Amino acid sequence: MSISPDMRYPTSHKLFQTAKELIPGGVNSPVRAFRNVGGEPFFVRRAKGARIEDIDGKSYIDYIGTWGPAILGHAPMSVINAVHEAAKNGLSFGIPNVLEVEMAKMVTSWVPSVQKVRMTNSGTEATMSAIRLARGFTKRDKIIKFDGCYHGHSDSLLVAAGSGALTHGEPDSAGVPKSFAAETIVLPFNDRAAVEAAFSQWDGQIAALILEPYPANAGLILPQVGFLQFLREITAKNGTVLIFDEVMTGFRLGKAGVQGLENIMPDLSCFGKVIGGGLPVGAFGGRADIMDYLAPLGPVYQAGTLSGNPLAMVAGLTQLHELDKAGAYETLDQIGAYLQAGVEKILSAKGIPHRFNRVGSMFCMFFTDAEIINLDSVKTQDMELFRKLFWAMLDRGIYIAPSPYETGFLSLAHTHDDIDVTLDALEKSVAAL
């Protein structure tokens, strides 16, 4: 028997009714509306470590982590203290500050492909700017993206997108001119033949190929062996800028992200989330000869009043310094492996078809027997089973993404005890189904 929102979290229910009168859909980002699981969201009062607390006082073990940034856990004191001290000197300047340079030094030292970097205020700004830069550098118009990869909500990239757009059954957004979409070539992920055909059909016209190297906005999809290297080779051969969107994976899966794990050198990379420590941030960088096409040196314009603001910079720098300590990424991987082993044991024992994709502290569970290689295979999963499991877990104090098209995140604040509590909740939830 389902529990109504006014019974599950009455204060959140009342606040959501007010929010819907003032904010479109009652939320400031679509996936928060819980539409894909058929219910209403709760409102958060506070978050600390691996837990969040709603305004009705109920606590949850959180596997979203602000959709990725909270890799140390919520409200780590090192970051809180650093932001507090920085705020004493001013919240924003609109003038160069030393923290911007420190961030640039850290990014370029951690990511070998990045020779120069520019800060933005969001991942959407970073990918939008990288596309514009690639077009300006190559003097070409067309770009390639992959179905299921989400690169923010700018017009050129919101074509057959994943994440929030897919959740609501609208893979293309209203308001995107057909002429913009016509410049975006959308291909299936992991399909070499399709990529080769596109380069053949639009020979000499493709400015950039952009992708999440580990797509994480339609679940978590992993590239087949050699696929990323193939993309590196074909883009280099055709004079096309290869852009890795590592807004999610950058600094979460390792100091150099996916490109470090896979030993691939893209031409441009986009970052966000982890490098802001929970504050709004984005960045894009890469080869110096391409980056120098940006104003004020070059003809490609890009700007932002709050870009490189001191609070986001000090929060991100502090978080990166914490991750630089010995064993941080190994610990995250160990916690992830412990969770994966437990989940797979429970689901296998119950005979529930599933795929559990995980890399380090990122994971996604699919209720399907199909190998997950692209968006079409993601869509084979049992959506109704996911919906039932989401609510069963939430009622037992476990918060997973309210959409089967989202990736889960672990943090250094998650303990083995947290995982044990989660697995116990999963076992009870599965039994109740």
Q: Following DSSP, what letter does each residue of 8-45 receive, concatenated?
A: H-HHHHHHHHHHHHHSGGGSSSGGGG-GGGTS----EE
Q: What is the pLDDT of residue 2?
A: 66
Q: What is the pLDDT of residue 181?
A: 79
- How many other C-beta atoms can be found within 10 angstroms of the C-beta atom of residue 11? 15
CA–CA gap between residue 364 and residue 358 (Å, rounded): 6
Q: What is the pLDDT of residue 173?
A: 72
CA–CA gap between residue 73 and residue 256 (Å, rounded): 21
Residues 368-382: what's their mean pLDDT? 93
Set 9, 60, 63, 150: catalytic member: 150
Rounded to the nearest 10°, the torsion over CA 151, 156, 161, 163 is 40
402 part of a folded domain: no
Domain of residue 318, residue span: 87-323
291 part of a folded domain: yes
The total of structural domains in the chain comes to: 1
288 part of a folded domain: yes
Q: How confident is the model at residue 162 (pLDDT cuts 50, 70, 90)?
A: very low
Set 142, 145, 273, 388: catalytic member: 273
Residue 273 is among the residues annotated as catalytic for this protein: yes
Render pLDDT for 187-204 as a digit per residue (tens, 0 to 9).
Answer: 999 999 999 999 999 999
Q: How confident is the model at residue 160 (pLDDT cuts 50, 70, 90)?
A: low
Residue 150 is among the residues annotated as catalytic for this protein: yes
Residue 9 is among the residues annotated as catalytic for this protein: no
Residues 56-61: what's their mean pLDDT? 97
Overall pTM > 0.75? yes
CA–CA gap between residue 369 and residue 383 (Å, rounded): 13
Render pLDDT for 352-367 as a digit per residue (tens, 0 to 9).
Answer: 999 999 999 999 999 9
23 part of a folded domain: no
Set 54, 62, 245, 267: catalytic member: 245
Render pLDDT for 243-272 as a digit per residue (tens, 0 to 9).
Answer: 999 999 999 999 999 999 999 999 999 999
Q: Range with the lowest mean pLDDT among 36-50, 152-166, 213-227? A: 152-166
What angle (nearest 5°) sits at the alpha carbon of residue 352, between those of residues 348 and 358?
65
282 part of a folded domain: yes
Contact partners, residue 196, CB within 8 Å, separation at least 6? 234
What is each CA distance from 33 to 23, 24, 95, 162, in whole angstroms? 11, 10, 38, 16
Residue 62 CA to its chain's centroid (Å): 16
55 part of a folded domain: no
* pLDDT score of 386 more than 80: yes
Instruction: Look up the CATH number of the domain holding residue 279.
Output: 3.40.640.10
Q: How confident is the model at residue 159 (pLDDT cuts 50, 70, 90)?
A: confident
If DSSP codes are grouped into helix, strand and coil, which group holds residue 211?
A: strand
CA–CA gap between residue 214 and residue 232 (Å, rounded): 15
Contact partners, residue 426, CB within 8 Å, separation at least 6? 342, 343, 346, 393, 398
40 part of a folded domain: no
* pLDDT score of 166 more than 70: no
168 part of a folded domain: yes
